[in-house]
Structure 1
Amino acid sequence: MSARRSEDEKVEAYSRALIEAGRASGRANADLVQWEHARKFSPEVLETLSAMRDADDLDLIPKVARQYKHILDSEDKTVSVTVTTSVPMDDDLREKVRAKAEKDLKAPVYLVERVDPTILGGIVLEARGHRYDASVKAQLTNIRKTLASTFVGSDEHDR
């Protein structure tokens, strides 16, 4: 009974410490989302993060991620392709995207799927440091820029 109480006290203490730190930075809900994903981390990732924290190197996480991806891409023939869509892909679309990417990249492809409703529709592909954005959001942005430059140019031409 005492071991269970001790575990419950630890859980309570850890939870409150996370909440306090998150609230102090205005990110309590964001921290909860991160915490939910943390259980998926491998022991190696957790150990590396701990070592980086101990060395005060957490600011290097984005650079380590890029280097990690670069090393994998350069040593492994399989190319990681990040595919962002506004809704989850079905099996048919997934296979079409994989086939097209493998043909274009001339290599086997591992798809990393992301769903981002803010792109409104279409698809965004990222591979080997390049980005192909065929999202509705990007198309609308391009139309807006074209219209703005056309109208700005027309105003100056009419003067």
Structure 2
Amino acid sequence: MASKHGESEKIEAYTRALMDAARAEDRADCDLVQWQHARKFSPEVIATIAAMQNGDDIDLVEAVSKQYKEFLDARDNTVLVTVTTSVPMDDELRAKVRAKAEKEIKASVYLVERVDSSIIGGIMLEARGKRYDASVRAQLANIRKTLSSSFIGGEEK
């Protein structure tokens, strides 16, 4: 069984992901009961529910629903920012990313950290349906695209 602290972090992460998705759909004030109609769900809501299911956290739905209502009542405008790096961030980098994101978004942020070694290095940020990709993988793809368009008709000799 997960610790109470770990469980509360999961509940907040799921709650914020659902709020972010609902805001994107302009449905933040809708009752969660409406979400039982899956055909109305956005891919983000479905992905959050799927993450809860895959993480064996589906029993947290009631607690997430309660916290969602509390956040909504408090008019919490914190923005969910997903940060993907090739290795885990340390506290110093986390603080820099948070400060930069809050400055750009002009709101407080809740960071969801992901590690994906396939990006090779660099960082990817996602917030409010937009993605900023400064990963090495993306930079290499751009170089490849530039080179292939520069040498249309074959390689120079």
- Alignment correspondent of 1:123: 123
C-alpha separation between the residues in 1 aligned to 2:144 and 2:130? 24
Q: Decide whether aligned partners of structure 1 residues 79 and 61 sit closer, same or farther in structure 2, where only a CA change above 3 A counts.
A: closer
Task: State the one-letter code of the partner of 2:80.
Answer: S
Q: Decide whether aligned partners of structure 1 residues 141 and 102 sit closer, same or farther in structure 2, where only a CA change above 3 A counts.
A: same
C-alpha separation between the residues in 1 aligned to 2:108 and 2:76? 10
Task: Give structure 2 stretches of 5+ with no counterpart.
Answer: 1-6, 16-31, 50-70
C-alpha separation between the residues in 1 aligned to 2:138 and 2:89? 19
Task: Give structure 1 stretches of 5+ with no counterpart.
Answer: 1-39
C-alpha separation between the residues in 1 aligned to 2:117 and 2:48? 29
C-alpha separation between the residues in 2 aligned to 1:129 and 1:88? 23
Counterpart among 60, 64, 68 of residue 45 in structure 2: 64
Highest RCO, 1 vs 2 (Cα 8 Å, sep ≥ 6): 2
Larger Rg: 1
Over the matched positions of the two proteins, sequence identity in percent amounts to 60
TM-score computed with the length of structure 2 as normaliser: 0.54
The 5 Å alignment of 1:8-157 reads 57=38, 60=41, 62=43, 64-65=45-46, 76-152=76-152, 155=153
Q: Decide whether aligned partners of structure 1 residues 107 and 141 sit closer, same or farther in structure 2, where only a CA change above 3 A counts.
A: same
TM-score computed with the length of structure 1 as normaliser: 0.54
For these two proteins, the number of residue pairs brought into alignment is 104
- Cα RMSD of the aligned pairs, angstroms, is 3.7
Task: State the one-letter code of the partner of 2:122.
Answer: G
* Secondary structure at the counterpart of residue 151 of structure 2: helix
